[in-house]
């Protein structure tokens, strides 16, 4: 038996998508063998590599589905249980991930993030995290510098682009949208600092104010009215 390698796809190279790029992505879930909370999530989660950790994560693969970076991929993990907890005993990692997943649904369906009518609420109801498989939404990417010089930098999801943002419709239509590079400072090799002249005044470090991510969940409020109806045959956003 012979193998004809002539029609094999050529390697795409190790270059990454530029920082601040806007892309339309499809997120698929890679099962990690750990059961989630319900029947729909059996074998879905992945355990943290740290010995003794109770953190459980969702292993996600993102594929760009339109535009100049079409078919490029990147990967990211999201905490859905365990780890540090807030004053109410709720996983902080899960609260962040939950807010991000909600944003994905709003972006995928074109829902106004402030729309809390029954019809919109019903579309945000999932049988399990597995219902997020193959969700397609608008996103802005960032470049995360590698912590080990032996490895290359990686793309990460910077934030989900929502329908009330000017770039959303163009991204979802597959148009090319100019990148908006992140203001984060990339890691650089440590260099010896030049000694300050004797006459220079001492420098006092000033801490930068913390910023809340755009996709962070809002503080809990009074319980809202019950949604119209939870989906029974799959999430409503999969059917548009």
Residue pLDDT tens, the chain, 240 long:
788 888 776 655 557 999 999 999 999 999 999 999 889 999 999 999 999 999 999 999 999 999 999 999 999 999 999 999 999 999 999 999 999 999 999 999 999 999 999 999 999 999 999 999 999 999 999 999 988 888 889 999 999 999 999 999 999 999 999 999 976 645 544 444 455 555 555 545 444 444 444 444 444 444 445 444 545 566 655 655
Q: Is the dihedral of CA 91, 76, 70, 152 positive or negative?
A: positive
Decide if 238 is inside a domain: no
205 located within any domain: no
Which pLDDT belongs to residue 231?
Answer: 55
Contact 19, 182 (CB under 8 A): yes
Q: Is residue 225 a part of any domain in this protein?
A: no
**Angle 140-113-182 from CA coordinates, rounded to 5°:** 20
Q: Tokens standing for 142?
A: 């960032």
Global model pTM greater than 0.85: no
**Is beta strand 73-81 parallel, antiparallel or unpaired with respect to 56-64?**
antiparallel
Q: Per the structure, how many domains does the chain have? A: 1
196 inside domain: no
Q: Which domain holds residue 110?
A: 26-181
Is 20 domain-assigned?
no
Alpha-carbon distance values, 133 to 2, 76, 119 (Å): 37, 14, 22
Residue 68: inside a domain:
yes
**Quick one: pLDDT at residue 70?**
95
Give the CA radius of gyration of the chain.
21
CA distance 183 to 229: 42
Query: How many C-beta atoms surround the C-beta of residue 231 within 10 A?
Result: 18
Q: Is position 193 within any domain?
A: no
- Domain membership of residue 217 (yes or no) is no
145 in Cβ contact with 187 (< 8 Å): yes
């Amino acid at each position: 038996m012979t193998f004809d390698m002539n029609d094999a796809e050529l390697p795409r190279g190790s270059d990454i998508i530029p920082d601040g790029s806007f892309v339309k992505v499809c997120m698929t879930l890679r099962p990690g063998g750990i059961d989630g909370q319900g029947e729909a999530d059996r074998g879905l989660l992945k355990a943290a590599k740290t010995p003794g950790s109770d953190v459980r994560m969702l292993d996600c693969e993102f594929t760009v589905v339109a535009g100049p970076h079409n078919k490029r991929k990147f990967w990211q993990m999201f905490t859905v249980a365990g780890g540090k907890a807030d004053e109410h005993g709720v996983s902080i990692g899960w609260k962040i991930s939950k807010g991000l997943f909600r944003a994905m649904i709003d972006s995928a369906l074109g829902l106004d993030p402030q729309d809390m009518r029954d019809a919109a609420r019903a579309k945000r109801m999932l049988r399990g995290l597995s219902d997020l498989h193959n969700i397609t939404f608008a996103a802005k990417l960032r470049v995360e510098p590698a912590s080990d010089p032996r490895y290359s930098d990686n793309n990460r999801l910077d934030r989900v682009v929502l329908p009330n943002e000017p770039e959303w419709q163009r991204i979802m239509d597959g148009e090319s949208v100019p990148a908006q590079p992140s203001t984060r400072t990339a890691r650089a090799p440590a260099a010896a600092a030049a000694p300050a002249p004797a006459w220079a005044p001492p420098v006092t470090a000033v801490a930068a104010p913390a910023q809340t991510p755009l996709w962070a969940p809002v503080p809990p409020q009074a319980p809202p009215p019950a949604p119209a109806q939870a989906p029974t045959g799959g999430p409503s956003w999969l059917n548009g």
